[in-house]
Chain A
Amino acid sequence: MKNIIKIALVGNPNVGKTSIFNALTGLNQHVGNYPGITVERKSGTFKLNESTSAHIVDLPGTYSINPSSKDEEIALKSLFDSKNNDHPDVVVVVAEVENLKRNLLLFTQIKDLGFPCILAINMADRMELKGISIDVTALEKQLDTKIALISIRKNQGLDQLKQLVLGYNELNTLPFLDLKKVDEAHFELMEKLYANQNPYKVWLHHSQQIPFEGIGSVLGSNYTEKSPSEIKRMQQRETIKRYQFIGEALKSTYVIDTSKATDFRAKLDRVLTHKIFGYVIFFAIMLLVFQAIFEWSGVPMDFIDGTFASLSEWTKSVLPEGKLTELISDGIIPGIGGVVIFIPQIAILFLFVALLEESGYMSRVVFLMDRVMRPFGLSGKSVVPLISGNACAIPAIMSARNIENSKERLITMLVTPFATCSARIPVYVIIISLVIPNENVLGIFSLQALTMAGMYFLGFFMALISAWLMKNVIKAKEKSFFIIEMPSYKLPLFKNVFYTVWEKTKEFVLGAGKIILALSVILWFLGTHGPSETFGQVESIITEKHINDNLSEAQLADEIAGYQLETSYIGKIGQTIQPVFAPLGYDWKVSIAVLTSFAAREVFVGNLATLYNIGSSGEDEDMIIGKMRTQVREDGSPMFTLGTGVSLLLFYAFAMQCISTIAITRKETNSWKWTIVQVVFMTVLAYISAMLAYQIL
């Protein structure tokens, strides 16, 4: 049988931990969630030698074993619980050459827990550039460990790391820090009370309520409980002691010759965090991102659209006529197409987000925007979710996790769905081309494009306004802290960017995709089945009715389809709920499209296509627009006037119409209360503003 060594990959943020993980596992990796929560859990396998393989878990980056955010807390759990499936045999602590001192703090903490620890010093290729030299053998002795110098860019050091992992049994697991130096009386007493326990575990048990097994409450009467502020002071002293030890270890083994160092960072920072150029560059980059999302995705989207339309036609022509064929060609295939069509936009957005994160630029944006966001109860870190919310609110809400302050984090999550996610794009495109004249203003600006840009602005503006409202309502649990590392600038590694784009796109297709597909099928069913007996006889009724009208075959078929829909389940439902939407100016067909959009906005266009029975000619936008333009109300006035159009635009801009987002808000806030507040707030706002728009215009 094969031996398996379990490895935990631990390290500070921005040290290239994920690059090492990607280089070791390649595509043999699995990104999932920790049970019950949406903290990303990355694991993978790779071969160490003929008889041994490794199972590795990439824990989220952390500066210390004392967690300061939710991610860190969950990440560290597997280290504390020996029954946890991820509990490692050996821990690989990743450090970065430029920040060795700070990285080693975590290393000493992990080693004091009693794990065999290997130190992987990453980005060794930057040593020369920064004038750094390390005496590895001497440092190994000082730190009582084995060290691998790694450069992913130059593909160096991974084999050595594997060899070290194979020999993990020979590593010394003695602790570094004698805790008695922190507080003699306290830790002497602890030693007596917990005779056979690792003293550091005992300390973590008391300072952070980490439930190590075997360390129950055996505190006797001779123990006086430490106050939180006493504990904090002890943790401070502990940190200082650790840094003293690290300073000693590095004194003769780690030398920086600053005369040889080139300071690329300072030059770039001067421009990128500049009071004026900083913003100019940021907005230019944002513009480029939006341009890319709209323009570059056009070709693949058209291709996908066309492919699915012909696939649908093809199945109809090949398979025998019947309910099953209809289900496949009109329900399932367009349903899958409706999911796949979003892939180009989502992939492009994540490509940019990954590039901005990997290069280190995102932290500069956070730095630039913090002061601007603060009056709205947000933090500079809220910018990342608000930007990625323009692709999809789901990953955006998840990315709010690294906001330490719980109030700022909650507000960010609650307002992120106002950002114009890509699912709104098809809705906006259709409505805008219907009601906004295709004219230019001032000669060069297309009125339709300006309206589109305005919708983006509106979403962002509403997010800020709502944030400001919530800031005044929500009570702060703790004081707000803002601490962020400004990492060094790096050329993004292709592999890392590729994996991020791949994983996020997959997440969307499998996650949101399921819902979209299911809804399409349900809608198809409801539209093709009816409650009354007449439903089955629609064809003969209509044919009889128009017997003298001399209609062409196509016109007759349209009439039949239209009447069929009216008498179907969906038609009945639409006519029932229409009064609710009447003040907003919607007829029963639009009401249906809006109602079904409450599961996912992107179904709107497809549903309108079905409802206005454009079905057989595919989801060609021009066709849909043409059909919609001819729609009239009962009194004969046109259906899609400016009033109806603006009303629809506002409704889609503000309403919470996405089951997946609701689910993710529930998970991330861990509260039904805030989830419901979000849904109700957004939807009421949408209803009122849409109604006002229709009544006034």
Chain B
Amino acid sequence: MTLDSLKINAKAVITQVNMETVPLKLIELGFIEGNFVELLHVAPFNDPIYVKVNDSHISIRKDLAKEITIELI
């Protein structure tokens, strides 16, 4: 599954990041294969999402979250 379909308060591990489409900044903020990610909040109208990754709290839009493959833990 991809990060955009993660449920609130669910945790997952990142298994793949599509480097063809995501900006380098996402990697630098800690969206790296093997890192844990937790969904904290979803904004009204279902987008963007607010996650905790790499000890950081980051908000991204769902279109970007679709490019990040995860596995539930």
Instruction: Give the complex CA separation of A273 and B50 in angstroms.
Output: 10
9 A-B interface contacts by CB (under 8 A): A63-B25, A233-B19, A269-B50, A367-B41, A370-B48, A371-B43, A371-B48, A372-B45, A483-B26
Give 1 or 0 for each of A454-496: 1 = CB within 8 Å of chain B CB: 0000000000000000000000000101111111100000000
Q: A269-B40, A367-B43 are in contact. Are A102 and B55 (CB under 8 A)?
A: yes
- CB of A633 within 8 Å of the partner chain: no
Closest approach, in angstroms, between the C-beta of A75 and any C-beta of chain B?
A: 15
Chain B residues numbered 1-39 whose CB sits less than 8 Å from any CB in chain A: 17, 19-30, 32-33
- CB of A278 within 8 Å of the partner chain: yes
Instruction: Give the complex CA separation of A482 and B66 in angstroms.
Output: 13
Size category, A interface? 35 or more
Verify B19–A239 contact, CB threshold 8 A: no
How many positions in chain B have a CB within 8 Å of any CB in the partner chain? 33
What would 10 more interface pairs be, CB under 8 Å, given A64-B24, A240-B27, A269-B41? A101-B30, A101-B54, A233-B19, A236-B19, A236-B27, A269-B50, A372-B44, A482-B59, A483-B64, A485-B56
A-B pairs with CB below 8 Å: how many? Answer: 115
Q: A64-B28, A98-B55, A232-B24 are in contact. Are A482 and B48 (CB under 8 A)?
A: yes
Identity of the chain B residue whose Cβ is nearest the Cβ of A72 in the assembled complex:
B25
- CB of A275 within 8 Å of the partner chain: yes
Instruction: Give the complex CA separation of A98 and B43 in angstroms.
Output: 24
- CB of A68 within 8 Å of the partner chain: yes
Chain A residues numbered 260-295 whose CB sits less than 8 Å from any CB in chain B: 265-266, 269-270, 273, 275, 278-279
> Which residues of chain B are near A487, meaning CB under 8 Å?
57
> Which residues of chain B are near A485, meaning CB under 8 Å?
29, 56-59
Verify A483–B32 contact, CB threshold 8 A: no
Q: Which of B21, B33, B41, B55 has the most CB of A within 10 A?
A: B41
A-B CB proximity, top 9 nearest: A486-B57, A371-B45, A482-B61, A64-B28, A275-B44, A68-B25, A371-B47, A367-B59, A239-B27
Q: A232-B19, A236-B27, A243-B32 are in contact. Are A486 and B50 (CB under 8 A)?
A: yes
> Which residues of chain A are near B41, meaning CB under 8 Å?
269-270, 273, 367
> Which residues of chain A are near B17, meaning CB under 8 Å?
236
Closest approach, in angstroms, between the C-beta of A248 and any C-beta of chain B?
A: 14
> Which residues of chain A are near B57, meaning CB under 8 Å?
265, 485-488
Q: Which of B45, B46, B59, B64 has the most CB of A within 10 A?
A: B59
- CB of A209 within 8 Å of the partner chain: no
Closest approach, in angstroms, between the C-beta of A683 and any C-beta of chain B?
A: 35
- CB of A678 within 8 Å of the partner chain: no
Verify A482–B19 contact, CB threshold 8 A: no
> Which residues of chain B are near A630, meaning CB under 8 Å?
none
Closest approach, in angstroms, between the C-beta of A670 and any C-beta of chain B?
A: 22
Instruction: Give the residue of A98, A105, A273, A372 whose beta carbon is less than 8 angstroms from that of B28.
Output: A105
Closest approach, in angstroms, between the C-beta of B26 and any C-beta of chain A?
A: 6
Identity of the chain B residue whose Cβ is nearest the Cβ of A485 in the assembled complex:
B58
Verify A239–B48 contact, CB threshold 8 A: no
Instruction: Give the complex CA separation of A56 and B67 in angstroms.
Output: 41
Give 1 or 0 for each of A97-128: 1 = CB within 8 Å of chain B CB: 01111100100000000000000000000000
Instruction: Give the complex CA separation of A105 and B41 in angstroms.
Output: 26
Closest approach, in angstroms, between the C-beta of A231 and any C-beta of chain B?
A: 10
Q: A102-B56, A367-B59, A371-B43 are in contact. Are A68 and B48 (CB under 8 A)?
A: no
- CB of A297 within 8 Å of the partner chain: no
Instruction: Give the residue of A243, A275, A380, A486 whose beta carbon is less than 8 angstroms from that of B58.
Output: A486
Dominant SS among interface residues on chain A: helix
Verify B64–A481 contact, CB threshold 8 A: yes
Q: A64-B25, A370-B61, A483-B60 are in contact. Are A102 and B43 (CB under 8 A)?
A: no
Instruction: Give the complex CA separation of A482 and B54 in angstroms.
Output: 18
> Which residues of chain A are near B32, meaning CB under 8 Å?
239-240, 243
Verify B44–A63 contact, CB threshold 8 A: no
Identity of the chain A residue whose Cβ is nearest the Cβ of B60 in the assembled complex:
A483
> Which residues of chain B are near A100, meaning CB under 8 Å?
55
Closest approach, in angstroms, between the C-beta of B42 and any C-beta of chain A?
A: 9
Instruction: Give the complex CA separation of A154 and B17 in angstroms.
Output: 42
> Which residues of chain A are near B46, meaning CB under 8 Å?
371
Instruction: Give the complex CA separation of A368 and B25 in angstroms.
Output: 22
> Which residues of chain A are near B26, meaning CB under 8 Å?
483
Closest approach, in angstroms, between the C-beta of B36 and any C-beta of chain A?
A: 12
Verify A63–B29 contact, CB threshold 8 A: yes
Identity of the chain B residue whose Cβ is nearest the Cβ of A69 in the assembled complex:
B25
Instruction: Give the complex CA separation of A479 and B56 in angstroms.
Output: 24
> Which residues of chain A are near B23, meaning CB under 8 Å?
68, 481, 483
Verify A482–B64 contact, CB threshold 8 A: yes
Identity of the chain A residue whose Cβ is nearest the Cβ of B32 in the assembled complex:
A240
Give 1 or 0 for each of A349-393: 1 = CB within 8 Å of chain B CB: 000000000000001001110111000000010000000000000
- CB of A235 within 8 Å of the partner chain: yes
Identity of the chain B residue whose Cβ is nearest the Cβ of A486 in the assembled complex:
B57
Instruction: Give the complex CA separation of A356 and B48 in angstroms.
Output: 21
Verify B47–A483 contact, CB threshold 8 A: no
Closest approach, in angstroms, between the C-beta of A381 and any C-beta of chain B?
A: 11
Identity of the chain B residue whose Cβ is nearest the Cβ of A231 in the assembled complex:
B24
Verify B24–A101 contact, CB threshold 8 A: no
Instruction: Give the complex CA separation of A297 and B32 in angstroms.
Output: 50
- CB of A217 within 8 Å of the partner chain: no
Instruction: Give the complex CA separation of A68 and B25 in angstroms.
Output: 7
Identity of the chain A residue whose Cβ is nearest the Cβ of B56 in the assembled complex:
A102
Verify B40–A266 contact, CB threshold 8 A: yes
Verify A367–B28 contact, CB threshold 8 A: no
> Which residues of chain A are near B21, meaning CB under 8 Å?
479
- CB of A229 within 8 Å of the partner chain: yes
- CB of A66 within 8 Å of the partner chain: yes
Instruction: Give the complex CA separation of A488 and B60 in angstroms.
Output: 17
Closest approach, in angstroms, between the C-beta of A249 and any C-beta of chain B?
A: 14
> Which residues of chain A are near B64, meaning CB under 8 Å?
481-483
Instruction: Give the complex CA separation of A367 and B54 in angstroms.
Output: 20
> Which residues of chain A are near B58, meaning CB under 8 Å?
483-486
Instruction: Give the complex CA separation of A64 and B26 in angstroms.
Output: 11
Closest approach, in angstroms, between the C-beta of A464 and any C-beta of chain B?
A: 16
Verify B29–A380 contact, CB threshold 8 A: no
Closest approach, in angstroms, between the C-beta of A105 and any C-beta of chain B?
A: 6
> Which residues of chain B are near A232, meaning CB under 8 Å?
19, 24
Instruction: Give the complex CA separation of A591 and B5 in angstroms.
Output: 59
Verify B29–A483 contact, CB threshold 8 A: yes
Instruction: Give the complex CA separation of A101 and B25 in angstroms.
Output: 15
Closest approach, in angstroms, between the C-beta of A308 and any C-beta of chain B?
A: 47
Instruction: Give the complex CA separation of A368 and B61 in angstroms.
Output: 12
> Which residues of chain B are near A236, meaning CB under 8 Å?
17, 19, 24, 27
Identity of the chain B residue whose Cβ is nearest the Cβ of A102 in the assembled complex:
B56
Instruction: Give the complex CA separation of A68 and B22 in angstroms.
Output: 12
> Which residues of chain A are near B20, meaning CB under 8 Å?
229
Instruction: Give the complex CA separation of A64 and B25 in angstroms.
Output: 8
